Structures are given as structure tokens and as C-alpha cells.
Structure 1
Amino acid sequence: MPRPREFDETEALEGAMNAFWARGYEATSTEELCAATGLGRSSIYNTFSSKHELFRRALGHYTERGVRQRSAVVGRAPDGLGALRLLLTATIDDELGHHRRGCLVVNTIAEFGTSDPEVSAQVRVDTEAHLSELAHVARTGQADGSVTRDRDAGEIADFIHSTISGLRVMSRRGAERAALNGVAEIAIAAVARR
């Protein structure tokens, strides 16, 4: 009879996610992963099979968490433009509250590029889902009159997604809140209905 696991896998993924998020894939050692997850080396490999698989699972944990957080933010908005504004504000608050770690997905793109097909596919799925969500918010804003109809909702989604990624990179380089807020305000002005 197999022995039951004596740890919380979600907590282990959270710890691994934070380790990879802080240092990147290559720079995170097995010892650091053991410390971050509370697991021994053999438990990590027995449960996740490899550092690469643990990374992919941690990245999945990060993206699932992001979906929940974005949905909660959008749900508080009075209209489509308000939802976009809240998403940008939440990005800035998250960056300044998390020691300027950037976005694990953006960091992963910067580290891996397209060199790892499995990671690239995972990033592509998350990016497409995020863009779909942003396009829905843009269409909602166009319908309620708060977002410009001069641009396609998909183009607006690409623009806001790029702005969010840019804010994350700006934060990593040490930009202050005023600079981050300035970029967010320019983005909102660009998509607001005039």
C-alpha cells in the first residue's frame, strides 16, 4: 500500500513559485527549492519528477492565482474603463507590495524565450487567456460607452496587456509609483471614449 503524502502540495507549489519568482529557473538551486517547499530532495523528485516539472507546476500555480485575482478586480469595477483602470492600479500595487519581482510569466519569457517548447506552450495558453479576458473587458467598456470604439477590442487588449507587462518591467528596474501611475494614466486616456 502506498504511503500517503505528508505535505500540502499547494503549499509546496507556493514555496517553489516564490523561489523561482525571486531568482528565476536557472539560478534557483535544488537546495533553495528544498528550503522553499519544506521538502527533502527525494520528496521533490518523487512528487514532481524534476526541477523542470516543478517549475512548470509552479508557473501553472502562479497563472491560476493570477486569473482569480484579475477576476476579483474586474468584479469590483463600475464599467469597462473602470475595470481596466483597476487592473493597472492592482498591477502597480502588487509590484510595490512584492518587492518588485515583476511577473513570473514575463520573467519566464525573458529567461526562456522560445527555447523550451513546453514552457513556451504554457506561457502562450496563459497569455491567450489573459488577452481574451482583457478583450471581454474592452468590449464591455465599448458597450457601456466608457471605452473607445475607434479601436478593436483585441487591439485594446494587446495594448493593455503590453502596458501591464511594461509596468512590471519598470518596477523591476526601480521606477517609483509616480512614474508607474503616469504610464497607467496615459494608457487609460488612450482607451477612454472621448
Structure 2
Amino acid sequence: MSRPREFDVNCALQQSMEIFWAKGFKSTSFEDLTRETGVKKQSLYCVFKDKKSLFLKALALYREQNTAILEDLAAQEMPPLKKLEAIACVSLSEESEIIQQGCLMVNSILEFGTEDQEVAREVEIMLFKVEQILEEIIRCGQEQKVITSRRTSRELAPYLKNLFIGAKILEKSGAPREQIEMNFRTAFALLEQ
């Protein structure tokens, strides 16, 4: 008979995600994970198999949490350009600690590049979902004639997605918030009908 699990798996996963987010995959040791989660190495291994599996689950959790925020904003009753502005506002961090951490997905792209297919796939899933959300908002704005139709929503969504990725890189590199906000204002002005 196996012993009952002695820790909250969801809580340990959330804490692990935060550690990976702060330190990156390669710089995070299993000692970091066990110290911060308060869970023994063997118990973590029993549930998550190894550090890489835990990292992939942490990426999936990050994706789920962040796309849920974007979906909530997209569902709100407000003009499409205001939705895009709200997404930009949410994507920019207020706290210096979070600014230094950047975005876990962007950090993972920079850490792994294309060398790890599983990590690349998880990042790809999130970026695809973000692009879908942006495309829907843009399409709605085009139907309401408040967003330009010079380019299709399918062309504009990847442009905005790349702007958001670039903003997170600029933010992490220490660029002034005013500069990043100016980039967003310029992009949104170009979208106006």
C-alpha cells in the first residue's frame, strides 16, 4: 500500500513555477525546489518524475494562468482598442521584482532557443493562443470600423504579439517604462481607423 501524498501538488507546482521564473531552468537546482516548496526530493520525483517534467508542468501552468487573464480582458464590454490597451497595461509589470523576472515564456525562449522541442512546443502553444486572442479583438474592431482594415486581423495579430514579446524583453533589460508605453501608443495609433 502506497503512502498518501503529504503535500499540496498544486501549491508545489505554483511555487516551482515561481522559482523557475526567477532563476531559469538551468540555474534552478533541485535543492532550490525542495527548499522553496518544503517538499522532499523523492516526493517531488514521485509526482513530477524529474526536474524537466516539473519545468514543463510549470510552463503549462504559467500559460494557463496568463491566457486566462487575457481571455477575461478580451471578454469585457469595452471598445476593442481599449481591450488592447488593457492587455498592454497588464503585460507591463509594476513591481521591480517581477520586471527583473520578465516573462517565463520569453525567458524560456531565450534560455532554450529551439534546442528543446518540448519547451519550444509549450512556448508555441502560448504564443498561438495569445495571437488568437489578439486576432479576435482586432477582427471585432475592424467590424466596428475602429481598427484599420488596411491589413487583415491575421496580419496584425502577429505584429502585436511580437510587440508584446519585445516589450517584455525591453522591460527585463531595464528600458524605461515610458519608452515601452510609447511603443504601445504608436502601435495602437497605427491601428486606428
Q: Corresponding residue for 2:182?
A: 182
Q: Corresponding residue for 2:89?
A: 89
Q: Corresponding residue for 1:66?
A: 66
Change in CA separation of 1:95 and 1:102 when aligned onto 2, cut-off 3 Å: farther
Q: CA offset at residue 21 of structure 1? A: 0.6
Q: Corresponding residue for 1:117?
A: 117
Q: CA offset at residue 83 of structure 1? A: 1.1
Contact residue 81 and residue 147 of structure 2 kept, 8 A: yes
Q: CA offset at residue 95 of structure 1? A: 6.6
Change in CA separation of 1:22 and 1:185 when aligned onto 2, cut-off 3 Å: same
Read off the aligned partner of 1:10 and give its amino acid letter: N
RMSD of equivalent CA atoms = 1.6
Determine the C-alpha separation between the residues in 2 that align with 1:21 and 1:93: 14
Alignment of 1:31-180 (within 5 A): 31-76=31-76, 78-93=78-93, 98-180=98-180
Read off the aligned partner of 1:105 and give its amino acid letter: M
Q: Secondary structure at the match of 1:98?
A: helix
Determine the C-alpha separation between the residues in 1 that align with 2:58 and 2:101: 15
Q: CA offset at residue 99 of structure 1? A: 3.5
Read off the aligned partner of 1:69 and give its amino acid letter: I
Identity of matched residues, %: 32
Read off the aligned partner of 1:130 and give its amino acid letter: V
Change in CA separation of 1:74 and 1:94 when aligned onto 2, cut-off 3 Å: farther
TM-score, length basis structure 1 = 0.93
Determine the C-alpha separation between the residues in 1 that align with 2:71 and 2:97: 19
Contact residue 15 and residue 37 of structure 1 kept, 8 A: yes
Structure 2: gaps of 5 or more residues? none
Alignment pair present for 1:29 and 2:29: yes
Read off the aligned partner of 2:5 and give its amino acid letter: R
Change in CA separation of 1:94 and 1:5 when aligned onto 2, cut-off 3 Å: farther
Contact residue 95 and residue 171 of structure 1 kept, 8 A: no
Determine the C-alpha separation between the residues in 2 that align with 1:24 and 1:50: 16
Determine the C-alpha separation between the residues in 2 that align with 1:38 and 1:73: 35
Determine the C-alpha separation between the residues in 1 that align with 2:15 and 2:35: 8
Determine the C-alpha separation between the residues in 1 that align with 2:67 and 2:4: 30
Read off the aligned partner of 2:174 and give its amino acid letter: G
TM-score, length basis structure 2 = 0.94
Change in CA separation of 1:77 and 1:176 when aligned onto 2, cut-off 3 Å: farther
Determine the C-alpha separation between the residues in 1 that align with 2:125 and 2:160: 18
Determine the C-alpha separation between the residues in 2 that align with 1:144 and 1:90: 24
